Amino acid sequence: MALSTIGTNQIASEAVTVPKVADQVLSSRNLIINGAMQVAQRGTSFADLNGYGLDRFGVGSSDDGAITVTQDTTVPSGEGFKNSMKFDVTTADTSLGAAQFYQFFQKIEGQNVAHLMYGTSNAKTITLSFWCRSNKTGTYVTTFMNNAADRFNPNNFTISSANTWEKKTITVTGDQSGTWLTTNGIGMYVIWNLALGSDFDDGTNGTWGASDYGSGGNVNFLDSTDNEFYITGVQMEVGDTVTPFEHRSFSDELQRCMRYYEKSYPYSVAPGTAISYPGNLGITVRGMDEETSGQRYITNTMRVEKRADPANTFYDDAGNAGKVTTFNNAGTGTNNVGIALVVTQPSMIGCGPNNSAIWGFGFFYESDAEL
């Protein structure tokens, strides 16, 4: 340590080591939402799913088999993960047709990948990393695709050891061609293909082109009911370097997921469940929230403003979809009452029953603005 003199004061100084950027914990670098498979608002088990299961991860398929998707607690040791997403074949398809496939994906909002500058000469390199495990060894493929489905980059990865967690890393050079949305639409698809028919194998591994999901040689994960596939720790970041997984808090990840989907049920209760709970959306009384026509309605601010106008489903206390529970002046509730008025916008939800001769009503809802 040396002494420096400034005016009449002496200041002790010593060498300071400035950490490199790669050594620091940088927040918000992971472009994948719910990559640790923590959030599952819709439920934790989905038989023969075609749509969304765990938050932000969807499934698309056309095959003769069936797979159950679950939120699981099997995770790689020592990595800090609590959950994984599991795919379990329950009905096999041993002879996959040319036009058949099974894939799961995350659609990333254009506003969240605008800084990648895809479709320009400044397009940035990205790196995808994830942990996976399966008893079915062999070649799988992850595909990057634009909204118009006319720009593809398939990337093969191999599961080498059965029933062993393996970390995979895929680095992709930014695409300088095509149209890539930077709006609240789909900016990019990240797709994991567990089975692909020959119609989808026209791409070139690791290369941008006009097609396709795969480049040939990938496994048919559907070929046996013994097959299981697990994934967790999904991270996509700018650059060609893998950094440690960005563990976000559960509340932070839940808020991010709610931009695309939320429900008024308690977190652990699946939509459509029969439940009497004081947290269901409001009770109105005669003379309040009343239009000149006499139609009564309730409006409420969304917990998180949605990406766009959502599709809303309302439930009465018995779990009947498209219905509300009405109450008379004695507080007696009647389920299975139809809806005459719906109020919906990215930040507001509400409805009114088709019966104005009531003293109050209430309902649960789920609001879907998925890409």
Tokens encoding 249: 């808090």
Residue 136 has pLDDT above 80, yes or no: yes
pLDDT at 305: 97
pLDDT tens digits, residue range 182-207? 999 999 999 999 999 999 999 999 99
Decide: pTM greater than 0.95: no
Reported as half-sphere exposure (CB side, CA atoms, 13 A), residue 289 has a value of 20
Taking the C-alpha atoms of residue 154 and residue 175, their distance in angstroms, rounded to an integer, is: 13
pLDDT tens digits, residue range 236-293? 999 999 999 999 999 999 999 999 999 999 999 999 999 876 556 655 555 444 444 5
Cβ proximity of 350 and 306 under 8 Å:
no
Strand partners, 327: 333, 360
- Tokens 């795969």: give the residue: 214
pLDDT at 327: 85
Q: For 12, which DSSP code?
A: E
pLDDT at 33: 98
Taking the C-alpha atoms of residue 306 and residue 86, their distance in angstroms, rounded to an integer, is: 28
**3-class DSSP state of 343:** strand
Residue 15 exposed, middle or buried by CB count within 10 Å (0-12, 13-18, 19+):
exposed
Taking the C-alpha atoms of residue 249 and residue 361, their distance in angstroms, rounded to an integer, is: 36
Q: Which helix (H) or strand (E) holds 4?
A: strand 2-6
Q: Give the helix ranges, DSSP H, for 159-227.
A: none
Rg (CA), the chain: 25
Torsion sign across C-alpha atoms 189, 214, 127, 82: positive
Domains of the chain: 22-258 (2.60.120.260), 261-371 (no CATH)
Which range, of 7-11, 67-71, 233-237, averages the lowest pLDDT? Answer: 7-11
